[in-house]
Amino acid sequence: MMDVTWKPGPYTFGKWRQDLTVHVPAVITGATHLVDGFRGPERLRADTRAAVQLRLAKLLGCPVCRALFPGVARRAGLSDAQVQAALAGEIAQLPREAGAAMTWVEAILSSGGTAPLAVPEGAASLSAKQRDHLEVYTRLDIVVHSTGLFFLPHSMIEQAYAS
């Protein structure tokens, strides 16, 4: 999964301003893609969404999400082992769709929050609509975390990332 040398933050005013400038317009223009991922025949399953949220919590270093989403993921149908696998980025232990979605979200994060030009092999099973949804979803998550984590000590973020 994602290169282990990547680390979140620090979340500063400059990063917050940059994230707002870069991602909010894309979230607004991509609102239809965001909604499509929750409904219709190509919507993402609840366990997929939970696995993605767990991985984002870990990679963005959010202690709040890191504490909240394991319970949500269990209610969505992931086992304790799958919750740990999602946090660690071990896609082989997850449902196929969840692993593909996590691969795509990590590629988006690695590209600064935008979809990479090439779809990684592990994400190829997702439809274009699902990938579009996950890109907007990830951009929104970046903005939310950039806003919220700005108010937390960086040591808490590093601890959430490391755990």
Tell me the per-residue pLDDT of 74-129, one tens digit each, with 9 for 90 and over.
999 999 999 999 999 999 999 999 999 999 999 999 888 899 999 999 999 999 99
Distance CA 37, CA 34 (A): 6
CATH class of 13-162: mainly alpha
Distance CA 155, CA 47 (A): 30
13-70 pLDDT, tens per residue?
Answer: 888 898 899 999 999 999 988 888 888 888 999 999 999 999 999 988 888 898 999 9
Distance CA 163, CA 147 (A): 22
Query: Is the link from the previous residue into 153 a cis peptide, with omega within 30 of 0?
Result: no
**Helical residues (DSSP H) of 76-127, grouped into ranges:** 80-88, 96-110
User: Hey, what's the torsion of the CAs at 53, 56, 57, 62, to 10 degrees?
Assistant: -140
